Homo-oligomer: A and B are copies of this chain.
């Protein structure tokens, strides 16, 4: 039961159906790269789509060809909370990403040049619509569950609103129903850092054979800072010095400085994250506000959602605090929806949703057991609910 998933080969879906974007533009065709784990059952009733967060990708579990372990490998695999002996798990790189799905670093078929800044803005709803093409391609009428943390949780909410009959369960983790002004402000500073880097070349850095590394590194340092809690940084780094003595110069003096600097550097160089993708993802976050078209009433926005919900928040998450999850839970309860909620004690801030945690894992396992039980008793004719 506890063997690993082994090496996973990503797959590519070419979608030829034009995608009508929220912005009014149309993407005539696009690729989605994705991975799957476990086996789809006979009536395709055991499929789970995992939606990734800002800097995530389709490689959520197992090992890739380079030996890299998936970003949520601790929670997905044989015998793990999302048990691949029971479920067929799917994860795709978001449209506009830079890990294999069509995005700003892809070739624009109309010009045969890299899209760069000409890649159209996509929104959370556009992601959901593109993921719906993947659903159809895989022959899945209804997802057993949609699962996502942070920006991934927002996609789960959007699925529950836009395609209520296409999912039975919605797991919304460390998310919010919309960004606050402060959230937007942090994104704006990160974007300014990228766009003011002379190597950005107004988004045409690939054509210029350059990378806005400094801007990307700054954006990542800042992002990373907001994923960690003050408590966690305090207990991990305190005011520990890099050298034994205070140096009284402008180099990194404290451990936390070199840690952040390393995170920024890694993101901008080794991980080679596309700067335009970073802009696009943060903008999609800013724009996310499903209640807006329902008189800014989240209860109304979720009125037609029929999925059962698990909402999880973490005590020291100040990016999307427990209060933001409460908003979601309240709106669901207003609609008499079936909702479970857990506020998990953790010192790890927003990052907690990716990390081992006994309570979190217990909640996750217990909820997933409910899904396994449902599968066992469900009629095998595709009518699940």
Binds B, one of A74-82, A283-291, A368-376: A283-291
Note all chain B residues with C-beta closer than 8 A to A236: 181
B22, B189, B217, B257: the one contacting A248 at CB < 8 Å is B22
**Cβ contact within 8 Å between A256 and B22:** no
Q: State how many angstroms separate the Cβ of A369 from the closest Cβ of chain B.
A: 37
**Cβ contact within 8 Å between B181 and A256:** yes
Note all chain B residues with C-beta closer than 8 A to A146: none
Is A279 located at the chain interface by the 8 A CB criterion? yes
- Could you tell me which residues of chain A, from 206 to 229, have a CB within 8 Å of some CB in chain B? 214, 217-218, 221-222, 225, 228
**Cβ contact within 8 Å between B225 and A182:** yes
**Cβ contact within 8 Å between B218 and A289:** no
CA distance A221 to B192 in the complex (A): 10
Is A252 located at the chain interface by the 8 A CB criterion? yes
Binds B, one of A41-49, A193-201, A298-306, A336-344: A193-201
Copies of this subunit = 2
Q: Which residues of A contact B (CB under 8 A)?
A: 22-25, 117, 120-121, 123, 178-182, 184-186, 188-189, 191-193, 195-196, 198, 203, 214, 217-218, 221-222, 225, 228, 230, 233-234, 236-239, 246, 248-250, 252-254, 256-257, 260-261, 264, 279, 283, 286-287, 289, 318
**Cβ contact within 8 Å between A188 and B257:** yes
Query: Of all chain B residues, which has the CB nearest A256?
Result: B181
Note all chain B residues with C-beta closer than 8 A to A23: 248
**Cβ contact within 8 Å between B192 and A238:** no
**Cβ contact within 8 Å between B196 and A260:** no
B184, B193, B261, B287: the one contacting A188 at CB < 8 Å is B261
Q: State how many angstroms separate the Cβ of A128 from the closest Cβ of chain B.
A: 17
Note all chain B residues with C-beta closer than 8 A to A185: 221, 225, 233, 256-257, 260
Helix, strand, loop or mixed for chain A's interface?
Answer: helix
Q: State how many angstroms separate the Cβ of A200 from the closest Cβ of chain B.
A: 11
CA distance A283 to B253 in the complex (A): 9
Q: State how many angstroms separate the Cβ of A118 from the closest Cβ of chain B.
A: 11
**Cβ contact within 8 Å between A192 and B261:** yes
CA distance A283 to B198 in the complex (A): 26
Note all chain B residues with C-beta closer than 8 A to A228: 182
Note all chain B residues with C-beta closer than 8 A to A260: 185, 188-189
Q: State how many angstroms separate the Cβ of A275 from the closest Cβ of chain B.
A: 11
**Cβ contact within 8 Å between B222 and A254:** no
CA distance A238 to B261 in the complex (A): 32
Q: State how many angstroms separate the Cβ of A227 from the closest Cβ of chain B.
A: 11
Q: State how many angstroms separate the Cβ of A67 from the closest Cβ of chain B.
A: 31
* Sampled A-B contacts (23; CB under 8 Å): A25-B248, A117-B250, A120-B248, A121-B248, A121-B249, A180-B230, A180-B233, A181-B237, A181-B254, A181-B256, A182-B225, A185-B256, A185-B257, A185-B260, A186-B225, A188-B257, A188-B261, A191-B250, A193-B218, A196-B217, A239-B289, A250-B279, A318-B318
CA distance A248 to B121 in the complex (A): 6
The answer to whether residues A253 and B181 also contact, given A23-B248, A225-B189 and a CB cut-off of 8 A, is: no
CA distance A186 to B256 in the complex (A): 10
CA distance A22 to B248 in the complex (A): 9
Note all chain B residues with C-beta closer than 8 A to A221: 185, 188-189, 192
Query: Of all chain B residues, which has the CB nearest A240?
Result: B181
Query: Of all chain B residues, which has the CB nearest A296?
Result: B239
**Cβ contact within 8 Å between B182 and A196:** no
The answer to whether residues A189 and B254 also contact, given A230-B180, A246-B287 and a CB cut-off of 8 A, is: no
